[in-house]
Amino acid sequence: MPRYALYFAPPNDSPLWAAGVRWLGRDPESREMIAPPTVHGLPPARQRQLTESPRRYGWHATLKAPFTLAEGFSIDDLIVEVERFCARREVFPLPTLEVGSLEGFLALVPARTANTMQELAAQCVEFFDPLRAPLSPADRARRDPSILSARQRDHLERWGYPYVMDEFRFHLTLTERLGAADAAALQPWLERYFAEALDETTQVDGVAVFEEPAAGSAFRLVRRVGFGG
């Protein structure tokens, strides 16, 4: 069964989109593989290893995490609901971002509190939940409730994902979880690499629908739906 996710994807004509897809080495919209930039002292094979998961998921920030559609719903139904959701919202600037460490992996994270993104993500989680199939036992086991807080377990049962609402942290993932040496080497390089893109204002102009066609396959961007109809 395919899974779908609702993401923020930077506009595809923005410097932030270009920098991100090049860093990860894959454009999830055109579905092209791209030669990533060279990091001095980091072998290309090791670089690809350190970006494997974010490359598979595609350059994005999560609004509603991947889910299977509930029985009776199709991708066309999901698109209609995304259009309805987006028609009521207006474009706003992306909060200022910086390269930071988030639970061991490097990501672009807000430099200060990002209430607008927090609110947008919470609205997405709630609005689209009727289209989500209930968690299967395998889905629940994959999240390993034993390592979650009580609040995160509540969110997992209610929303199908533990890191939502008050547990949500907006970010665009750059790497796998890193050891101290890899993180110390990569963070300054990534700060320089993304500096120009982060100097420009990026607009949050809609919601991107991503699809995982089969378990373990690369996610692809199947539709951008703009705010304001």
> What distance in Å separates the CA atoms of residue 214 and residue 89, rounded to the nearest whole number?
32
Q: Delimit the domains of the chain by residue range.
A: 3-114+170-226
Burial class (CB in 10 A: 0-12, 13-18, 19+), 191: middle
Topology of the domain covering 3-114+170-226:
Cyclic Phosphodiesterase; Chain: A, (3.90.1140)
Q: How confident is the model at residue 95 (pLDDT cuts 50, 70, 90)?
A: very high
Query: ∠ at Cα 176 (173, 179), nearest 5°?
Result: 125
Contact criterion met (CB below 8 Å) for 77 and 85 = no
pLDDT per position as a tens digit, 102-152: 989 999 999 998 999 999 999 999 999 999 999 988 888 888 898 999 999
Distances (CA, A) of 161 to 126, 135, 202: 12, 9, 27
**Higher pLDDT among residues 12 and 142, named by residue:** 12
pTM score, whole prediction: 0.95
Sequence-separated (6 or more) residues with CB below 8 Å from residue 204: 8, 91, 92, 93, 94, 116, 117, 120, 227
Contact criterion met (CB below 8 Å) for 187 and 45 = no
pLDDT per position as a tens digit, 49-75: 999 999 999 999 999 999 999 999 999
| β-bridge mates for residue 208, sequence order | 7, 224
**Interval 186-194 mean pLDDT:** 97
